Amino acid sequence: MAGASSSSGSSRKYDVFLNFRGEDTRRRFVCHLYEALKHKALDTFIDSEELRKGDDLSELLEVIQHSRLSIVVFSENYASSTWCLKELVQILECMDRQRQIVVPIFYEVDPSDCRKLKGSFAEAFAKYERDSQANIEEVESWKAGLTRAIGLSGWVSKNYE
């Protein structure tokens, strides 16, 4: 389920890329955000469940590269998704290389829990670090990306009705 391509001649295919943990937010928040962005005529990429069934993340990473803005929706189980964390690292690389705009939203989660790796964030990273198959360098890049993204200006859902 993705928005149509934007104007021809631009290397950008989408105005917005949505990065989120589907199980936490897809039906309660992200679908409403997606509809609001579409209503504003913004070509927005939202992944479908079918896209995540394989292990190939390359299509999503390419979409990120061709987006003007990325919205990162941090939620309770965000860090338990290696896909979300890999996308986040790519988003931050695009922010550095291509000046992509990145907007974090903290959906029903305290930003300090993310920043200090508390609660479910701590549990997820402890699991990665215990995994003998894990690439520790990659796990460290996820931590650094998470810390960096949390420091960006964004919105905390608990502050709004």
Residues marked active site are found at 87
- Residue type present at position 131: D
| Cβ-based burial of 87 (10 A; exposed 0-12, middle 13-18, buried ≥19) | buried
Cα–Cα distance, 127 to 107 (Å, whole number): 23
Please state, as a whole number, how many other Cβ atoms lie within 10 Å of the Cβ of residue 9: 6
Instruction: Return d(Cα 61, Cα 59) in angstroms, integer.
Output: 5
CA pseudo-torsion sign 14, 17, 23, 29? negative
Asked if 125 contacts 139 with a C-beta cutoff of 8 angstroms, the reply is yes
Q: What angle do CA 103, 107, 109 make, to 5 degrees?
A: 115
> What phi, psi does 54 have (nearest 5°)?
-90, 180
